[in-house]
Amino acid sequence: MARGVYIHIPFCHQICNYCDFNKVYFKNQPVDEYIEAVGKEIEMAVSQTPEQFQQIETIFLGGGTPTALSAKQIERLLKLIGASLPTKQLIEFSSEANPDELSEDKLEALLAGGVNRLSMGVQSFDQTLLKKLGRTHANEHVFETIKQAKKAGFENISIDLMYGLPGQTMDQWQDTLERALDLDLPHYSAYSLIVEPKTIFYIQYAKGKLHLPTEDLEAEMYDLLMRRMEDNHKQQYEISNFAIEGRQSTHNKIYWDNDEYAGFGAGAHGYLKGKRYSNIGPIKKYIESINNNELPILHRHEVTNEEKCEEQMFLGLRKNDGVSFEEFETKLGVSMKETFGNEIAKLVREGLLIEDEKGVKLSRKGRFVGNEVFQQFLLGE
């Protein structure tokens, strides 16, 4: 049964140099037709398996950029969502947003349609770095948009930051952190840059033209991030996420809990009835599938018990609370210690994991090398 719903809006007015998500330039795209197709996909899925959607807790509008849509398009999208999904019972209804796209009428449309949380892509407060990233907003857009969002009635606002950027210095990162913390928001996400294939940064990296900070400098940036968030009473609850009490991202916790969720839209991914699936990516082919009254699922994969055990560990260990022995056995029918006893003992000896009577979690040292820790729980390796 789905705890959450992800809806993909693949349109952008500007393509960022680091982004590998399914996206296209907004101009000359069948945007209105796409919105209708998403509404129809949701309607078809809910009508086929209504029991899967009775207890959803969250909806997340991602992209691309949902706020690339006009206010009228946002209004129409949210109306279609509300026609098929029980939006009034939601704990959290989030939308990603760009600071230079959130006009007053869009904010009103989002709020009227049930959205109660904004996740804004700020990334940096250094204009030189923003230009390198392919971002189009200025710092003034961030400050003004947050002010307008609060005035409109949004209390739950998060911003994304990035470190380990090309040419980024510690001074630049510290300045971005301080400006972000001065906003005193309830939630912050901060991610180190990963150079993904099929991105502009990847092409530059392959040509030797992308000059990244050293691993040591990136580790220092992460250390500063954790210290400054703690100093400002923003509790770290996941490797890259910090919040005041009660403002942790419920939707993202669904992923880290390895629970089921539905994905709608071109290129969206979902996890239902023990199967992971992905939708058709090209927008016209996606719309064509919907118009033929067919769910646009491209791939399905039934997750094996071994894979479920692996995922429970490497997703759950992202959380500061880690993975519970009891929850692992209740959910998967096997003991964590019997399945991963040797791996756990090794990582505890190395100071990367902490084990107590409840379960296991990353140590502070382990957070710096999380991916290396997670790899230890791949049974097929």
Q: So where are the chain's domains? A: 4-256, 318-375
For 318-375, give the CATH class. Answer: mainly alpha
The residues pairing with 94 across neighbouring beta strands, listed in sequence order, are 60, 117
Fold match flag (4-256 vs 318-375): no
Residues of the chain with pLDDT under 70: 380-381
Q: Both tokens of residue 141?
A: 């857009």
β-strands 323-324, 359-362: how paired?
antiparallel
Distance CA 59, CA 189 (A): 18
Q: At what angle do helices 139-152 and 104-112 cross, to 10 degrees?
A: 40
Distance CA 187, CA 263 (A): 24
Quote the pLDDT of residue 381.
Answer: 52
Quote the pLDDT of residue 64.
Answer: 87
Quote the pLDDT of residue 240.
Answer: 98
Distance CA 68, CA 36 (A): 16
Instruction: Place domain 4-256 in its CATH homologous superfamily.
Output: tm_1862 like domain (3.80.30.20)
For the entire predicted model, the pTM comes to 0.95
Residue type (1 letter), 219: A
Quote the pLDDT of residue 253.
Answer: 97
Query: Is 57 in contact with 310 (CB distance < 8 Å)?
Result: no
Quote the pLDDT of residue 205.
Answer: 77
Quote the pLDDT of residue 15.
Answer: 75
